Amino acid sequence: MAGVDVLLVGPGAMGCLHAALLAEAGVSVGLLDYRPERAERIAARGIVLERDGAETIVPVACSACASDFEPARLVIIVVKSHATEAAARHALGACDDQSLVLTLQNGLGNWERIAAIVAAERVLAGTTSTGATLLGEGRVRLAGVGHTRLGSPRGSVDGARWAAGLLADVGLRAEAIEDVEGALWTKAIINAAINPLTALTRRPNGELLADEGLRQTMALVAEEAAAVARACDVDVGAEMPSVVEDVCRQTAQNRSSMLQDVSAGRRTEIDFINGEIARRAAERGMPAPLCNVLTALVGGLAEGN
């Protein structure tokens, strides 16, 4: 294989979806797995992309050997947060000293963990509202192309603009932003308020609004997490409960990734969402009782599966 413009790290829903969409648009793209046998199967048959009720098979280069893709201009890490360090180290074989590494993961602390492995000025961070469901190995359903917002935590503006432009050029509705920390915290607060409650109740997002007790709990979690963000000198605005409710309405039928993980008996990202918010609160001498309780409950639920 030769070098690629974009390398997706992780063959889950977001990795398969972005690899397929980019490949369809003519971008030189690769998909990096950590399991050689699975990588061989995906490489042989391509990614099956389901969209609007129809299926398309998209050929995508897939390998478990990072050096097959070296040099990659942009590496996008989309693994679960607990695998961030391992994924970043694995991807090093595809990088040269010009490669940019972008995290579009859930939770807080991912870009910092990557920056301990890759030069911080080459690390980008962002959020995306694009939705995807993994239907099986190398099979993914597009739930909708949302907005991707990314930036450089260390001020490498040109790199962020180039990466956003590359994604925007193929229809992925991406933009470079200056306040990437604000975007990361806003996404984390939304996830902290919605995802654990969906996982504990086994309900889709929209049903949280129909139950007054759950709706109030969701608002209280949002307020608690927003207070922690402000203590971390991040401005997330004063209306986070309303923002969370709006997201619930817009994604009413969605089964959150945390609910999907709990249902499948997989490890969740609770430690990197509510747990990380609670940890940062404790560092500043602040209480975060709701985030602590939800972290314990969802953690215990996962262990019980």
Please tell me the predicted confidence (pLDDT) of residue 91.
98
Q: What is the pLDDT of residue 144?
A: 83
Residue 303 has pLDDT above 70, yes or no: no
Nearest to 104 by CA among 14, 239, 207, 238: 14
pLDDT of residue 248: 93
pLDDT digits (tens, 9 = 90+) for 283-302: 999 999 999 999 999 999 86
Q: Which domains does the chain have, with CATH numbers?
A: 6-178 (3.40.50.720), 181-304 (1.10.1040.10)
The dihedrals phi and psi of 123, each to the nearest 5 degrees, come to: -95, 130
- pLDDT of 72-98, one tens digit each? 999 999 999 999 999 999 999 999 999
Q: What is the mean pLDDT of the chain?
A: 95
pLDDT for residue 103: 98
How far apart are alpha carbons 100 and 288 in whole angstroms?
A: 35
- State pLDDT tens for residues 131-142: 888 899 999 999
pLDDT per residue as tens digits for the range 134-170: 899 999 999 888 899 999 998 788 999 999 999 999 8
> CA-to-CA distance for 103 and 44, rounded, in angstroms?
27
Residues pairing with 134 in the sheet: 140
Contacts of 76 (CB under 8 A, 6+ apart): 6, 7, 8, 9, 18, 102, 103, 104
E strands, the chain, in order: 6-9, 29-32, 47-51, 54-58, 61-63, 74-77, 100-103, 123-128, 131-136, 139-144, 148-151, 174-176
Does 193 have pLDDT greater than 80?
A: yes
Active site members: 187
Q: What is the pLDDT of residue 254?
A: 85
Is a pLDDT exceeding 70 seen at residue 1?
no
Measure the CA–CA gap between 280 and 286, rounded to whole angstroms: 8
Q: Please state, in angstroms and rounded to a whole number, the distance separating the CA atoms of residues 76 and 6.
A: 7
